[in-house]
């Protein structure tokens, strides 16, 4: 039994939208619940009964936190560097382990518009392969991006990922903030919130960043494209090719990587990078090409091929709120 006081502290830190949430499936994907999030559900999440995700932007278009998500092998190193720079600016932040890398959380001292938060912290995101939440401004349609609530069991790995500090040993050593769930929940009350600057003191985002440069299929099951009236073309326009495809293909800064469709290569494996992701000439258009195979397409085409699904099945699953 987790006390209401602890659950209230947890909710004030981590819960974005209150009138809906998502449930993680056994394969790691999420399905939108379509009902309000309650303390009972949060308790079940923390006890491992089910695993929940929260929509970062709430019903009023405001946020209570920002998260940087680095899934690559050196993700911890990257985010520790960001944490050090934020600390120099007087901004407290907190590291959380994840299945494939690391998260860095910044908690706001008040609810702020998503656009305000993005203008403040998105420039701290070090590279396009580090995801920044919130991914959208409050003016965009749909629920926006989703992130797994901390301290629950990841359904795919069966593990609970804790907050930690990095000790300067040789090599550096991760030390959990507490050795038990109860200790970690007690530690949450010590978290410091960052003081938000006034909106009129912030510079505009660099050109091209205003329209959600980091939107990812993998963690946005509540986006506008789940509408039954949406088309595949609408959905493709709402996605960022780099963020979607880089979850399946390791890409360099030029968007080059090894083609994942090895059966079309002479040795059944692309040993030399021949696959490229690029900005489409028109939103939602062709954005990838394999020079060896001589084939390309849009984001939807890529997912059909990668998951070996026909277009109707993939589209039905996207409309149902599943993620890939």
- In the chain the domains, ranked by start, together with CATH numbers, are 4-201 (3.90.920.20), 223-319 (3.90.580.10)
pLDDT tens per residue across span 49-107: 999 999 999 999 999 999 999 887 778 888 988 899 899 889 999 999 998 889 999 99
The pTM of this model reads: 0.66
Q: Is 131 exposed, middle or buried (0-12, 13-18, 19+ CB in 10 A)?
A: buried
pLDDT at position 92 is 97
What residues in the chain have per-residue pLDDT under 50? Answer: 211-226
pLDDT at position 219 is 38
| Average pLDDT for the chain | 86
Nearest to 32 by CA among 210, 221, 189, 185: 221
CA–CA separation, 162 vs 96, rounded Å? 6
Contacts of 324 (CB under 8 A, 6+ apart): 29, 217, 218, 303, 307, 317
pLDDT at position 324 is 62
Q: Is 75 exposed, middle or buried (0-12, 13-18, 19+ CB in 10 A)?
A: buried
CA–CA separation, 43 vs 195, rounded Å? 29
What beta strand segments (E) does 145-287 contain?
146-148, 163-167, 173-176, 256-257, 275-277
Phi/psi for 299 (5° steps) reads: -60, -40
Phi/psi for 111 (5° steps) reads: -70, 130
Phi/psi for 21 (5° steps) reads: -160, 180
pLDDT at position 226 is 45
Nearest to 47 by CA among 82, 6, 13, 88: 6
Nearest to 38 by CA among 65, 63, 2: 2
pLDDT at position 173 is 84
């Amino acid at each position: 039994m987790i006390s209401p006081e602890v659950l209230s502290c947890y909710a004030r830190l981590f819960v974005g939208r209150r009138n809906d949430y998502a449930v993680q499936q056994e394969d790691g994907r999420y399905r939108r619940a379509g009902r309000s999030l309650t303390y009972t559900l949060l308790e079940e999440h923390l006890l491992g009964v089910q695993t929940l995700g929260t929509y970062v932007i709430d019903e009023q278009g405001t946020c209570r936190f920002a998260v940087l998500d680095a899934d690559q092998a050196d993700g911890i190193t990257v985010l520790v560097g960001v944490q050090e720079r934020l600390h120099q600016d007087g901004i407290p932040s907190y590291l959380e382990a994840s299945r494939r890398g690391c998260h860095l959380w910044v908690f706001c001292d008040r609810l702020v518009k998503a656009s305000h938060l993005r203008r403040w912290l998105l420039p701290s995101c070090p590279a396009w392969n580090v995801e920044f939440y919130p991914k959208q401004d409050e003016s965009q349609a749909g629920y926006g991006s989703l992130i797994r609530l901390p301290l629950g069991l990841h359904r795919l790995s069966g593990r609970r990922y804790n907050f930690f500090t990095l000790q300067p040993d040789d090599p550096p050593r991760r030390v959990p903030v507490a050795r038990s769930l109860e200790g970690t929940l007690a530690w949450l009350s010590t978290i410091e919130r960052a003081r938000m600057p006034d909106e009129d003191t912030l510079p505009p985002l660099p050109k091209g960043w205003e329209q959600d440069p980091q939107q990812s299929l993998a963690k946005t099951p509540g986006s506008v494209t789940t509408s039954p009236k949406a088309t595949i073309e609408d959905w493709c326009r709402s996605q960022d090719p780099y963020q979607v495809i880089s979850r399946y293909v390791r890409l360099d800064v030029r968007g080059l990587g090894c083609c994942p469709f090895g059966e079309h290569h002479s040795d059944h494996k692309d040993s030399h990078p021949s696959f490229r992701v690029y900005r489409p000439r028109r939103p939602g258009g062709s954005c990838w090409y394999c020079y060896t195979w001589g084939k390309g397409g849009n984001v939807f085409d890529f997912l059909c091929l990668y998951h070996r699904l026909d277009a109707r099945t993939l589209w039905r699953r996207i409309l149902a709120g599943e993620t890939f």
